[in-house]
Amino acid sequence: MPLLSVSRRLVLPRLLGCGLGCWLAALSTMSACAETRPAPPQTAAEVQELQARLDRDIAELTRQIEESPKNVQAYSARGDRLFFRGKFAEAVADFEKMVELDPTLAESHWRRGIAFFYASQYDKAAHQFEIYHSFDNIDRENGIWRYLSQVKAVGREKAREGLLKYEKDDREPFPDIYRLFGGMITGEELLRKIEEAELPAAEKEKRLFYAELYVGLNDAVEGRVEGAETHLAKSTANRWGAKAGGGPGWMWHVGRVHHDLLRAAREKKAELKPQ
């Protein structure tokens, strides 16, 4: 049953004999309650089509691996799709197999680090991002993921103490996003700064994608699940992110997967709640 319908079912009996002002106040409250739940960033048809496509890809890549067990590229592609399908342990296994077959991939394999994170192997995730730093000491996105992993492993205070240091410039909006994780700017300030900036529409959309994603992930690791779901819904609905290829496209899937995990947990909790 839709949330607003449930709210009306609970509130309307209390309004018997209530004046106009009371009615308006109650309806305002119901609207506010409804707004706290973000609309799904994808339609049911879009979700079904994506899942079906990923399943077809996984089946085909599995066939290729069976025919050629040392096919590193097939393990790489299947690991991606397993992750996008929410099968984190299986994705870790494929990424680990890649490194086993080609040890030169170990330092640069950031996707393995993210898979470790979602498989709840936080120490391994943090280590992956630490060794990536020796491969690329400019990319603050890597430092963010090390921080997120350490928050889960040792807590926010120690994670902030251990934030990687960067001296060289990085692409926008990551300098400000990194300041978010250092506690020097709030998520609201970060997003407002981007919204108010005079930027081409495409550039603003790109920056908002990353900002919504990482504000959402920061909320998630700090336990603000409602804010996390809201921001991750916005990053998933972002058109630039959805169409991006390479690393940005991969990160769009990260936000989508994390949003789906939060939404599923919320819905399960609602089902278990006594009526």
Q: Give CA–CA dist 221/229, Å, rounded.
A: 12
Read off the tokens for 97. Answer: 């197999």
For residue 41, say if its preceding peptide bond is cis, omega within 30 degrees of 0. Answer: no
Assess if residue 185 is contained within a domain: yes
Q: Give CA–CA dist 61/65, Å, rounded.
A: 6
The phi-psi region of residue 246 (left if phi > 0; otherwise alpha if psi is between -120 and 50; otherwise beta) is left
Greater pLDDT, 237 or 21: 237
Q: For residue 270, what are the domain limits?
A: 171-275
Assess if residue 263 is contained within a domain: yes
pLDDT score recorded for residue 103: 97
Give pLDDT tens digits for 27-73.
343 344 444 556 678 888 999 999 999 999 999 999 999 999 999 99
Assess if residue 136 is contained within a domain: no
pLDDT score recorded for residue 136: 79
pLDDT score recorded for residue 112: 98
pLDDT of residue 9 exceeding 90: no
Q: Please give the mean pLDDT across all residues of the chain.
A: 87
pLDDT of residue 3 exceeding 90: no
3-state secondary structure of 139: coil
Residue 170, C-beta contacts closer than 8 angstroms, at least 6 positions apart: 138, 139, 140, 178
Is the CB of residue 78 less than 8 Å from the CB of residue 96? no
With cut-offs at 50, 70 and 90, classify the pLDDT of residue 167.
confident
With cut-offs at 50, 70 and 90, classify the pLDDT of residue 138.
confident
Assess if residue 265 is contained within a domain: yes
Per-residue pLDDT, averaged over 114-140, amounts to 93
Assess if residue 205 is contained within a domain: yes
The number of distinct structural domains making up the chain is: 1
pLDDT score recorded for residue 37: 59
pLDDT of residue 13 exceeding 60: no
pLDDT score recorded for residue 272: 85
Phi/psi of residue 55, each to 5°? Answer: -65, -40
Assess if residue 44 is contained within a domain: no
Other CB atoms within 10 Å distance of the CB of residue 122: 17
The helix/strand count (H/E) of the chain reads as 15, 0
Measured N-to-C along each axis, helices 174-181 and 201-221 cross at an angle, to the nearest 10 degrees, of: 20
pLDDT score recorded for residue 7: 34
Assess if residue 87 is contained within a domain: no
Full-model pTM: 0.84
Assess if residue 9 is contained within a domain: no
Q: Give CA–CA dist 95/103, Å, rounded.
A: 11
